[in-house]
Amino acid sequence: MIYLDNAATTYPKPDVVLNEMFDVMKYSGGNPGRGSHSLSLAAADKIYETRNTVAAHFGASPENVVFTYNTTYALNIAIKAFARRNSHVLISDIEHNSVYRPVYALSRSGISFDLFNASCNEEAVIKSIYSQLRPNTGMICTALASNVCGITLSAEKIGALCRNHGIVFIADAAQCAGSRRINIETAGIDALCAPAHKGLYGPQGCGFIVFSKRHTDNAARLPTFAEGGSGVNSLDRNMPSVLPERFEAGTLGTPCIAGLQAGIRFVESIGAENIYEHENALRRRAADMLSSLPNVKIYAPESDNGGILLFNIAGRPSTEVAEALDKQKICVRAGFHCAPLAHAKLKTGENGAVRLSFGVYNRAQELESFYRCVRELI
């Protein structure tokens, strides 16, 4: 099998991740924060270790790391915690539905939103944001990297703009965590949301929010997303007023969280910069190969960043191409990739497009097999 769908989830997972999850389920199988016996305490220790690992990786404080089910839940929590009635929100025109749908839902309750133009031209992006600002603009929420093409945004430049205008900045790092170094404090990010299972090479079923230290002392003013047991002050009818427990209702997924920690350590052992260069080299090679074939269109070819490439074969629906490749044991993803805004921007058409996305385990020789299969299709 040749796996080229790493933007959906990285595969395979490193052995260190699998082994860590197995060990936690076998030796630390208690419910964290729900008991004083050894198994519960062992689980709680693992949770706290991972908070420290995530915090160190993103330049934050451990208590400001909130674990969630996935990135979508993380974004919903952050967006709805910071949204204010009658305010204005800006998102980019490449957003995944995990940003677009929560913001659209808020527009039914008195909050307005607009799209700014995303591109790899940093000055043009900032200019587009400035052109959309209103006196009541209270939040910018955007992906730092597209999940369908190579467009990436500068967290530092957008963060500086937000700081200068008193605007909350929520960053979706689903497609760049693990291949790009991000420090939320120096970048001016209020809340960074990411998954375990993509570029951090952890398991599915775990995501997180990293809040800036600016919100350590005002967490009580942020509306809760869900309520329930937290293991803290069970007699209080309200959720805790402090991070992270304010947003962690119910039992946490200790094995998945432990897998996240192992994944981050795996990434750090290789180096985010090295992973980025590896993926980008594969993307460029794939783009060169596809460009040599007739009737192939590559979208946003000028956005030469990261490990994602989007293309179509003229006259062939994207799903048909993906199915044909799957028969040759090549895994890609076709369609609209939960990102209708990005596909509209790129004008991919009524059938979307075929996406290749690379990971640390992909090798150049796999592209030779992919190229031969596409050539035969054409």
What sign results for the dihedral spanned by CA atoms 95, 98, 100, 103?
negative
pLDDT of residue 304: 80
Average confidence (pLDDT) over 37-41: 91
Give yes or no for residue 230 having a pLDDT over 80: no
Beta carbons of 120 and 150 less than 8 angstroms apart: yes
Q: How would residue 369 be classed by pLDDT, with cut points 50, 70 and 90?
A: very high
pTM comes to 0.96
Measured distance CA(105)–CA(205) in Å, rounded? 24
Question: Residue 236: its pLDDT value, please?
Answer: 83
pLDDT attached to residue 334: 98
Predicted local distance difference test score (pLDDT) of residue 232: 78
Q: Which two tokens stand for residue 156?
A: 């530092």
pLDDT digits (tens, 9 = 90+) for 342-357: 999 999 999 999 999 9
**Residue 229: band (very low, low, confident or very high) from pLDDT cuts 50, 70, 90:** confident
Residue 317's pLDDT is: 97
In angstroms, the CA 90 to CA 96 distance is 14
Q: Does 225 score more than 80 pLDDT?
A: yes
Nearest to 140 by CA among 108, 120, 123, 118: 118
**Residue range 11-35: average pLDDT?**
94
Q: Which CATH architecture has domain 15-269?
A: 3-Layer(aba) Sandwich (3.40)
Q: How confident is the model at residue 16 (pLDDT cuts 50, 70, 90)?
A: very high
Mean predicted confidence (pLDDT) in 295-324: 95
Q: With a cut of 80, say whether residue 55 has pLDDT above it.
A: yes
In the chain, DSSP assigns E strands to: 2-3, 65-68, 88-92, 112-116, 137-143, 168-172, 191-195, 207-211, 296-298, 308-313, 330-331, 333-335, 353-357
- Residue-wise pLDDT for 201-217, tens only, equals 999 999 999 999 999 99
Domain ranges of the chain: 2-10+271-377, 15-269
Count CA within 13 A, CB hemisphere, residue 67: 30
Q: What CATH number belongs to 2-10+271-377? A: 3.90.1150.10
pLDDT confidence of residue 288 = 96
Which pLDDT does position 183 carry in this prediction? 98
Report the percent of the chain where pLDDT is more than 70.
100
Whole-number mean pLDDT of the chain?
A: 96
Residue the block writes with tokens 């080299």: 281
> Letter for the amino acid at 84?
R
Report, as an integer, the average pLDDT of 236-263. 93
Angle at 158 between CA 106 and CA 168, to 5 degrees: 40
> 188: closest CA among 169, 165, 213, 210?
169
Query: Residue 297's pLDDT is what?
Result: 97
| DSSP assignment of 249-295 | -S---HHHHHHHHHHHHHHHHH-HHHHHHHHHHHHHHHHHHHHTSTT
Q: Name the residue with tokens 């209103």.
A: 134
pLDDT at 233: 80
Q: Which residue has the higher pLDDT, 306 or 273?
A: 273
Place 375 in a pLDDT band, splitting at 50, 70 and 90.
very high
Q: Of 278, 158, 252, 115, nearest to 196 (Cα)?
A: 252
Per-residue pLDDT of 105-163, as tens digits, reads: 999 889 999 999 999 999 999 999 999 999 999 999 999 999 999 999 999 999 999 99
Q: How crowded is the C-beta side of 316, counted as CA atoms within 13 Å?
A: 21
- The per-residue pLDDT for range 61-109, each reduced to its tens digit, is 999 999 999 999 999 999 999 999 999 999 999 999 999 999 999 998 8
